[in-house]
A and B are shown apart, each in its own frame.
Chain A
Amino acid sequence: MRIIQSLTFLIILFHSSVGQSGLTYEMKETENQLYASNKQINQFFRRFNGEEDDDGNRYYTSDKKYRDASLRKKYIPGLFDRETSQIDPNYARDFVRQITDKRSPAFLNFHEDDWFAEVTTEFTFKGRRISGLLYMRLQQQGQGYEWIIEDVAFDQFQKLFDKDTSSTKKFMHPLSHELDFMTLRKAFHGNNHNEQFTAKNYTPDFLTIFLYEMNQGNMKFETVKNVKFHFFSIDGWYFSLANFNRPGYNTGWLISSLVPLNGADQKKQLKDYIYNKN
């Protein structure tokens, strides 16, 4: 026990902050702003759930203040973008009231919640720089978790698929089978939209196309331009999270939109919209 105490004392001796004293007044002011900022998604989760104290120290389940309702009521208003996002204040009030309700409060769960990332990326494709979205989600794997690519959206892929569903669309006549499908020849000749010969419920799988092009070496990753997050984890609500890099005390990862959802249909419609499936 004495050894542990001695070691702990040594750690305290070693362990001062990363920074140093002697900061200018301007830097002190900046430091206060940086302190207020939601510096990581992790910190957004902690502040949302009421899992850190005023100094940013982690509360654990054994701490009295862990997920304390009054602590959450103090933190949560500061988690909204108050400068540019124009979130309806009535929605915000109802949302906060719901998640801090004493009888059934709602918390975010990093591993289990319905949330995902939308990553704006750039790739080189056939010699040209193109932009596209990767939709990424956490998945349990092995002893822990990993981020996986759930879907993609690239204009270059989507514009290739413009299925004509009208009564005048091209088709292979219903007795083609009697001719050993020799109608295929005419169907495919000079045609850039062969999707019109597919089933009514056909939808292209852009993730597979993306992976095919990547694995063939036709696409090469260049960079990430932007990241945002979509949350469907609070019953009856959708909110998005974006990073606000600006001066002031309302910065970092903040709620950039908040939408009430009435039922599963609205939830699906909004997800389809985010995934570019409309």
Chain B
Amino acid sequence: MKNLKYTILSLLLLTAIGSYAQNNVDPGRKQAIDSLALEKVKDLSKYISIIGNKETQFSESQRVMDRAEELFSPGSEMGVSSLNREEISYYKVREYFERLMALNYDKVTIKWYDIHYVSDLEQQPDGTYVGVITIYQRFEGSSNDGMTYKDTTKKDITIYVKKKETQIAGRIIEFWDVLLGDIRVTETSA
């Protein structure tokens, strides 16, 4: 279902070779790219909720982590800081998920605010477009002895938008693909 969803979204981003020479992404296409990127971010947020949930079986967590990793470009990292520790610690995406899974709470609830902000797309030297999507997460962890911890974190998620090629009915077609990249995680005072 996930792949079908991405495929349908990607279909809107199809473009014949040579028909898209300009450097800027036009508003219509930008909105289609935003939708595909937001869909991936939405899936990531679901995966994070599942991985963090203490009721999720270990094997299921591993499977979800595999799926979540597929959303990212290779080598992506999470840069994490908190209100008490402004220094940024850097983790590989998988390592971040594993740390989330291993948190020492008996119950963990992860919710997402109904708010997101999508930046403009900027072209980097190699021609790939890059953007940042900001979302906010609410974390609540509690222990059986009554101790609870709550925080709200801002997640600034890099998205890479690349032109790729595929062959349909003998014709080479270009389409735009979206991958997630580095994520900056900041605890907010809100």
Contacting residues of chain B (86-100) with chain A, CB-CB under 8 angstroms:
86-90
The reply to whether A8 and B125 contact each other, CB–CB distance below 8 Å, is no
Chosen A-B contacts, 11 in total, with CB atoms closer than 8 Å, are A8-B12, A10-B8, A15-B39, A17-B115, A18-B135, A19-B135, A23-B113, A34-B188, A56-B117, A145-B122, A224-B88
B113 touches A30 (CB 8 A): yes
A127 within 8 A of B: no
Could you tell me if A246 and B189 are in contact, using CB atoms closer than 8 angstroms? yes
B27 within 8 A of A: yes
Residue-by-residue, is A35-49 near B (CB-CB < 8 Å gives 1, otherwise 0)? 101011011000000
What 0/1 readout, one digit per residue, does chain A (117-156) give for beta carbons within 8 Å of chain B?
0000010000000000000000001111110000000000
In the complex, the answer to whether A18 meets B12 with C-beta atoms within 8 Å is no
Q: Is the CB of B39 within 8 A of A14?
A: yes
In the complex, chain B residues whose CB is within 8 Å of the CB of A33: 190
- A14-B35, A35-B115 given; 5 more Cβ-contact pairs under 8 Å: A37-B190, A60-B27, A141-B125, A143-B127, A145-B125
Q: In the complex, how many angstroms separate the beta carbon of B175 from the nearest chain A beta carbon?
A: 13
Contacts of A110 in B (CB 8 A): 120, 122
Are the CB atoms of B88 and A223 closer together than 8 Å? yes
Q: A40-B132, A60-B27, A224-B88 are in contact. Are A19 and B12 (CB under 8 A)?
A: no
Q: Across the interface, do A247 and B189 meet the contact criterion of CB distance under 8 Å? A: yes
* Residue count of chain A within 8 Å CB distance of chain B: 47
Residues of B within 8 A of A247 (CB): 189-190
Contact with A along B56-84 (1 / 0, CB 8 A): 00000000000000000000000000010
Chain B residues with Cβ under 8 A from A176's Cβ? none
Question: Cβ of A225 and Cβ of B41 under 8 Å apart?
Answer: no
Q: Which residues of A contact B27 (CB under 8 A)?
A: 58, 60, 62
List the A residue with the shortest CB-CB distance to B129: A144
Chain A residues packing against B (C-beta within 8 Å): 4, 7-8, 10-11, 14-23, 27, 30-31, 33-35, 37, 39-40, 42-43, 56, 58, 60, 62, 110, 122, 141-146, 222-226, 245-247, 251
Beyond A7-B8, A40-B134, A224-B88, whether A18 also contacts B116 by CB under 8 A is: yes
Is the beta-carbon distance between B8 and A34 smaller than 8 angstroms? no
Q: A31 and B123: CB pair below 8 A?
A: no
Q: Distance (Å) between the CB of A113 and the closest chain B CB?
A: 14
B11–A144 contact, CB under 8 A? no
Nearest B residue to A45, CB-CB: B120
Contact residues in B for A144 (Cβ distance below 8 Å): 23, 122-127
* Docked complex: B9-37 residues within 8 A CB-CB of A: 9, 11-12, 23, 27, 30, 32, 35
